Amino acid sequence: MEHQERVFSGVQPTGNLHLGNYLGAITKFVALQQSHQCLYCVVDMHAITVWQDPAILSHNIREVTAAFIASGIDPKKQIIFNQSQVSGHAELAWVFNCVARMGWLNRMTQFKEKAGKHRENASVGLYAYPNLMAADILLYHATHVPVGEDQKQHLELARDIAQKFNVDFAEAIKAAGHHDGIFFPQPEPLITGPATRVMSLRDGSKKMSKSDPSDMSRITMTDDAETIVKKIRKAKTDPDALPSELDGLKDRAEAGNLVGIFAALNGTSKEDVLKEFGGKQFSEFKPALAELAVEKVSPIGDEMRRLLDDPAELDAILKNGATRARAIADPIMAETKKIIGFI
């Protein structure tokens, strides 16, 4: 049985939604809706793998929803919903807890980074996070997953889980009419373009992140024009002019990052940006980047604020999306249970 192409991706409602999330993920979501059926999920169950204040979590769920819509995702054509409203995510994640091996999860670098020295005190959920992510994708038999570079390892794990499930239950899968033996398709990561890993504006060796204590390290989607300009003006750089060739950006992490951001915002390549700005100083490049960032980000922030003024409308969009998501997920979950041998 051929699997229909279907896109799934998620964003955690953990506040400080930033330019990395936008360029690495959300802009890809917008583009894919022209050619694919897409499910875009506010992954609130992932968010609680670290402590979230309940009142702030509700706001953050609406904020990510608003960001999706303000960026151009059409909630009538595509499915926008929050994970906790579709119980199949938790159900399938449990099945995958029993398919994935401890050794696989022990290799996940994000857990090591996030748990840090406090590994013994990290939640079990943070450790099992990649299994829930595999469930998010495979619950819809999604075939394509647009994500930033940092999620590559988790996507590989999702592929391993799909494959192991197909092998472990091969007989039952064939008996259920899947003669090619494939029940869960292998999801393809889509990690493309000049900004798959946007770095901190303060330190070119760290990724731009929601949890960085310094607000100057990131441009958030709700920053006003003045703040965007200030953050770009103060962004760390080196004293040299921009090179004319890509090779010249080697060992210049901060310069490479700003060039990548410019290219992604402008819908061009780093090479094109260097053709225009090669030989120019940051004193000339930064104002051009700031102007472009304000032009692209500010209208989204304004629209997010307008949408957030009507939380009931956002809640209705999520509820409607969850109903449509369940219509796809429920039969797949029911068949999964049958394949396993549950009655």
Binding ligand AQP by CB under 6 A: which of 108, 128, 173, 208?
Answer: 208
Total binding residues for ligand AQP by CB under 6 A? 19
The pair phi, psi for residue 188, each rounded to 5°, is -95, 125
Q: Does 209 bind ligand AQP (CB under 6 A)?
A: yes
Q: Is 152 a catalytic residue?
A: no
Show contacts with ligand AQP in window 242-261 (CB under 6 A): none
Q: What angle do CA 92, 95, 101 make, to 5 degrees?
A: 125
Binding ligand AQP by CB under 6 A: which of 6, 159, 207, 296?
Answer: 207
114, 152, 236, 280: the catalytic one is: 114
Amino acid code (one letter) for 310: D
Binding ligand AQP by CB under 6 A: which of 4, 106, 123, 211?
Answer: 211
Least separation in angstroms between residue 170's CB and ligand AQP is 32
Show contacts with ligand AQP in window 52-81 (CB under 6 A): none
Q: Does 21 bind ligand AQP (CB under 6 A)?
A: yes
Please state, in angstroms and rounded to a whole number, the distance separating the CA atoms of residues 18 and 187.
26
Burial class (CB in 10 A: 0-12, 13-18, 19+), 113: exposed
**What secondary structure, in 3-state letters, does 144-177 show?**
EEECCHHHHHHHHHHHHHHHHHHHHCHHHHHHCC
Task: Decide whether 116 or 287 has the Cβ nearer to ligand AQP.
Answer: 116
The pair of structure tokens assigned to 194 is: 């000049």
152, 164, 210, 280: the catalytic one is: 210
Q: Does 147 bind ligand AQP (CB under 6 A)?
A: yes
Q: Is 234 a catalytic residue?
A: no
Q: In terms of Cα–Cα distance, which of 148, 291, 277 is closest to 232? A: 291
DSSP 99-117: TS-HHHHHT-HHHHHHHGG
Catalytic residues: 114, 207, 210
Residues that bind ligand AQP (CB under 6 A): 11-12, 14, 20-21, 24-25, 147-148, 150-151, 196-198, 207-211
